Amino acid sequence: MPLSACLLSGGVGGARMARALDLVDDVDLTVVVNVGDDALTHGVYVSPDLDTVLYTLAGVEGPQGWGLAEDDHKVMDSMAWLGADTTFRIGDRDLATNLFRTSELSAGRTLSDVTASLVESFEIEARVIPVTDDPVRTVIHTADGPISFQEYFVHRRHQDPVEDLVYQGSGEARPAPGVLEAIGGCDVVIIAPSNPPLSIWPILNVPGITDAVAAAERVIAVSPLIGGKALKGPAAEVMVALGLPPGNEGVLAAYDGLVTDLVVDHEDAADRQTLSGPDLHVHVTGTRIAEPEQAAVFGSWITDLASR
């Protein structure tokens, strides 16, 4: 029997984890993706984490893990020539994905429905579902006041200390069709090595999701930290700024009793002694999965773990 896994995912770290599981034969995979970073930019509806997951599963992701490989930027160059602010750069073929999404949404389709079409076009086997079809937007409170996720991340290069996070719209949001069924019906829920407050909390904040995860028998979280630090991005700083303990203790605290297993890197092997407890198993392995070869090894390892 295949192992059915439901992965909670942000962008790059989540997409790499999705690929790791997708590379294993006999894993039936559903990826539930954060939409808190979605925005309107250059007149199009961008859904950065969804696209990162789609592109990575299709094996066509860009060198940094997001965007498309070997994309051109003729449109952005022309926009810049016209005087537009192109700090948020979208490649030409990537723009086609976003134009398609935008026009289908304007025609009245839901985000999950449009995503299903993209899954088909990119010939992806896994199911990829936005956590919700309703608008949820991560708002970052800084010393200068509240700013949008893209303002914080792209324009201000995540330099502002984060004072608070608000997931605007999450109170009224409903899980997209299939999300609760995937979480409730799988053998294992896996929380990707994504940024806990910026990528996973906006998923858990959609009403019904945390309860569904709490009800799952097995919840394995993979730490995004290696040697106590994020490979890229502000995860470690944001967690500490929000009052969580440093390192993997903070990752655990971020998931507040939800996880049965935490997977940490060899560099943090000492955490197995300090963090393990009667209700928590801490496992140590190599968690660098940027390369498909590493991802394949990690994918089989975690599938074995989940099957035990």
Binding residues vs Ca ion (CB under 5 A): 10-11, 37, 49
Instruction: Tally Cβ neighbours within 10 Å of residue 108.
Output: 7
Q: Which amino acid is at 60?
A: V
Tell me the CA distances in angstroms from 127 to 50, 58, 120, 123, 278, one per residue in order. Answer: 12, 12, 10, 11, 34
**Applying CB under 6 A, does 49 fall inside the site for ligand GDP?**
yes
Helix, strand, coil content of the chain in percent (nearest 5): 40, 20, 40
Q: Report what 275 binds from Ca ion, ligand GDP, none; CB cut-off 5-8 Å by kind.
A: none
CA 69 – CA 234 distance, rounded (Å): 24
The only residue of 5, 6, 8, 11 in contact with ligand GDP, by rule CB under 6 A: 11
Which of 130, 193, 247, 299 touches ligand GDP (CB under 6 A)?
193
Residue that is written with structure tokens 């949001």 in the block: 173
Please report whether residue 299 would count as binding ligand GDP according to CB under 6 A.
Answer: no
Cα–Cα nearest to 16, from 52, 46, 48, 50: 52
Q: Which of 207, 232, 245, 307 binds ligand GDP (CB under 6 A)?
A: 232
Report the residue from 30, 41, 138, 199 that binds ligand GDP according to the rule CB under 6 A: 199
- The site for ligand GDP, by CB under 6 A, has a size of 25
Region for residue 231 given its phi and psi (left: phi exceeds 0; alpha: psi -120 to 50; beta: otherwise): alpha
Question: What are the CA-CA distances from residue 88 to residues 157, 167, 170, 173 (Å)?
Answer: 11, 21, 25, 27
Which residues ranging from 79 to 138 are in contact with ligand GDP (CB under 6 A)? Answer: none
Name the residue nearer to Ca ion (CB basis): 37 or 94. Answer: 37
Q: What are the angstrom distances between the C-alpha of 262 and each of 50, 109, 134?
A: 24, 38, 30
18 contributes a contact to ligand GDP by CB under 6 A: no
**Contact flag: residue 247 with ligand GDP (CB under 6 A):** no
Cβ–Cβ < 8 Å for 255, 220: no
Taking CB under 6 A as the criterion, the residue among 5, 7, 12, 219 binding ligand GDP is 12
Work out how close the CB of 173 gets to Ca ion at its nearest, in angstroms, rounded to a whole number.
17
Which option in Ca ion, ligand GDP, none does residue 231 bind, with CB closer than 5 to 8 A by kind? ligand GDP
Instruction: Report in angstroms how near the CB of residue 279 gets to ligand GDP at its nearest.
Output: 23
Comparing every residue's Cβ against Ca ion, the nearest one is 11
Of 160-179, which residues contact ligand GDP (CB under 6 A)? none
Residue 185 sits at φ, ψ, to 5 deg, of -100, 0
Binding mask 203-222 for ligand GDP (x = CB under 6 A): -------------------x
∠ CA 119-216-295, nearest 5°, is: 45
- Residue nearer to ligand GDP on the CB measure, 176 or 225: 225
Q: Is residue 224 a contact point for ligand GDP (CB under 6 A)?
A: yes
Name the nearest CA neighbour of 35 among 152, 155, 173, 141: 173
Q: Does 16 bind ligand GDP (CB under 6 A)?
A: yes
**Regarding beta strands 281-285 and 261-265, do their DSSP bridges make them parallel or antiparallel, or are they unpaired?**
parallel
Residues near ligand GDP (CB under 6 A) are 10-14, 16, 49, 52, 192-195, 199, 222, 224, 226, 230-233, 235, 287-290
